[in-house]
Amino acid sequence: MDGIECSIISKSELERTLRIDSEFYQNRYLIADQKMRSLDYESLVRYVDVSDGNHAGISDKFTDEGVPYYRGQDSGTFFIENSNPICIDKDSFNMPIMRRSHLKKNDVLLSIVGTIGAVSLVYSNKDATCSCKLAILRPKNTDNAELLAVFLNSKYGQMQIARYTRGAVQKGLILEDMDQLIMPEFREDFRNTIRSIVMRAFEQDASANVSISDAQTMLSDCLNMGDIGLLNMPIAVKKLSESLLKSGRLDAEYYQPKYDALFEALSCFNCKPLGGGKGIVRIKKSIEPGSEAYLEEGIPFVRVSDVNKYGIAKTEVFIDHNTVQNIESLYPKKDTILFSKDGSVGIAYKVENDSKFVTSGALLHLIVRNTKEVLPDYLTLVLNSPVVQLQAERDSNGAIIQHWKPSEIEQVVIPVLDMPTQEIIAAKVQESFALRRKSKELLEYAKQAVEMAIELGEDTALTWLSDKVG
């Protein structure tokens, strides 16, 4: 019986829909459930009203700017406003069919399809909406919002979500099962302390956003970018020698005037190609083992959907150590820039420390050749700026699924500012990431405190929190 679990359940103890699948009765689920039921508790629906987002087809209304339309892939960022969502126009947002999915401050969003269990908190009153891949948990008492989001992120919330997930090929958490999730009743002083920590985390995040915005503004001002990305002149006249014979491209989108304006602005500065023999970086490729190699544990396998310019989300996909020989050579080192070439192209994130994960082939590894000439933090900001995003848009335009050829990425034009200016910009980038790390640390402390309160009592958890955060 080594390694084999056995649980004996009476028929009278079966849940509402009489589930008898063995996964539902794993020991870890039963132990967690028993621990919570040993305390005063309530059904989740005692604390929240439950609904979900928009079910209507609206993809033809998607825009780059407008009202945020959050989807499953946007959840998991604790403060949902820090995600990078697609948008819809104001008229679409105000359609009668959309009103049921309008979001309010203090709503808790829970991913119920795809990446099930990702939790986010709506922390502003700005117009926003979401898809039906997200459940909207609207607190009946807004004082419970922060605690609810932290609890659902804790192991006790996540284990319940995993336990009540249904389905085989397409798994999901159905709204009707929300009343089977429970949450212990916490004292008011504990709830207020958690709320205070979440508020402090939000303030750190807001300061981080200011710092990165300052860096972006400084870069734009130094390069005199102005409103190049907003130019929308409909006509460009090109000779054959200036178009097909030079670039091999004959699609009209490639020759939009805004691209000419971009390269004209860059011509005033010292510029270098991103890659190639004389480029700023060496470009390393990773692997694409295929979904058949995916495991539930092993070496974390990071895909494009797991990466944004602020960090890497916790992945649910792993691969075996023996997937390829010398797999450790694929681990990103400190200051490696991960750069997406497929799907959401042109996303750059600099790895803060030597890491033990493998990325998909859709993420290139960029290693700066000479950090005395170009700082990695500066380069990452440039890669995420309109300077490179416009080049990505030009090269990958017209494709159903965006793909940016590595040969085109090598030729990306990068402005190399003087080192003192780079250092000022890099310092603001580093400040932003330090503040964001502090925010994540505070949220982690809040989560640990909730788990400790359930296991050891709220007084012990409050004492521990006081030692950690004051």
pLDDT tens digits, residue range 405-429?
Answer: 999 999 999 999 999 999 999 999 9
User: For 133-143, what is the mean pLDDT?
Assistant: 96
Q: Check residue 403 and give its pLDDT.
A: 87
Helices 419-456 + 27-37 axis angle, to 10: 70
Average pLDDT, integer, range 294-311: 91
Please, what is the end-to-end C-alpha distance for the chain in angstroms? 48
In this prediction, residue 13 carries a pLDDT of 54
pLDDT-derived band at 398 (thresholds 50, 70, 90) equals low
Quote the pLDDT of residue 20. Answer: 53
Per-residue pLDDT at 220: 92
Q: Return the pLDDT at 1.
A: 44
Segment 98-101 long-range contacts (CB within 8 Å, at least 24 positions apart): 98/54, 98/56, 98/58, 98/129, 100/51, 100/54, 101/51, 101/52, 101/53, 101/54, 101/129, 101/130, 101/131, 101/132, 101/136
Provide the pLDDT for residue 241.
46
Q: Please tell me the predicted confidence (pLDDT) of residue 231.
A: 44
More confident residue, 316 or 10: 316
What Rg, from alpha-carbon coordinates, does the chain have?
25
CA pair distance 416, 413, nearest whole angstrom:
10
218-228 pLDDT, tens per residue? 999 999 876 55
Q: What share of the chain in percent tops pLDDT 90?
A: 69
For the chain, the three-class secondary structure string (H helix, E strand, C coil) is CCCCCCCCCCHHHCCCCCCCCHHHHCHHHHHHHHHHHCCCEEEHHHCEEEEECECCCCHHHEECCCEEEECHHHCCCCEHHHCCCEEECHHHHCCHHHHHHCCCCCCEEEECECCCCCEEECCCCCCCEEECCEEEEEECCHHHHHHHHHHHHCHHHHHHHHHHCECCCCCECCHHHHHHCEEECCCHHHHHHHHHHHHHHHHHHHHHHHHHHHHHHHHHHHHCCCCHHHCCCCCCCCCHHHCHHHHCCCCHHHHCHHHHHHHHHHCCCCEEECCCCCCCEEEECCECCCHHHCECCCEEEECHHHEECCEECCCCCEECCCCCCCHHHHCCCCCCEEEECECCCCCEEECCCCCCCEEECCEEEEEECCCCCCCHHHHHHHHCCHHHHHHHHHHHCCCCCCECCHHHHHCCEEECCCHHHHHHHHHHHHHHHHHHHHHHHHHHHHHHHHHHHHHHCHHHHHHHHHHHHC
**Above 70 in pLDDT, residue 90?**
yes
pLDDT recorded at residue 226 = 64
Predicted local distance difference test score (pLDDT) of residue 157 = 96
Give the pLDDT confidence score for residue 80 in this predicted structure: 94
Taking residues 194-215, what's their average pLDDT?
96
pLDDT recorded at residue 282: 97
Average pLDDT over every residue of 94-105 = 95
Q: What pLDDT is stored for residue 200 in this prediction? A: 97
> With 90 as the cut, is the pLDDT of residue 158 above it?
yes
- As a whole number, mean pLDDT of residues 158-178 equals 87
pLDDT for 239 equals 46
Kindly tell me if the per-residue pLDDT of 4 is higher than 70: no
State how far the Cα of 422 lies from the Cα of 373, in Å rounded to an integer. Answer: 9
The model carries a pTM of 0.84
The pLDDT of residue 243: 45
Q: What is the mean pLDDT of the chain?
A: 88
pLDDT band at 257 (very low <50, low <70, confident <90, very high): confident
**What is the pLDDT confidence band of residue 395, given thresholds at 50, 70 and 90?**
confident
Lowest-confidence segment of 6-20, 183-197, 310-324, 373-387 by average pLDDT: 6-20
Higher pLDDT, 75 or 210: 210
Q: pLDDT band for 375, please (50, 70, 90 cuts).
A: very high
| Local confidence band at 360 (pLDDT 50, 70, 90 cut-offs) | very high
* 199/143 Cα distance (integer angstroms): 12
Q: What is the pLDDT of residue 255?
A: 59
Cβ(80)–Cβ(74) below 8 Å: yes
What pLDDT is attached to residue 258? Answer: 80
Q: Does the structure show a pLDDT above 70 at 249?
A: no
Please count the other Cβ atoms lying within 10 Å of the Cβ belonging to residue 19.
15
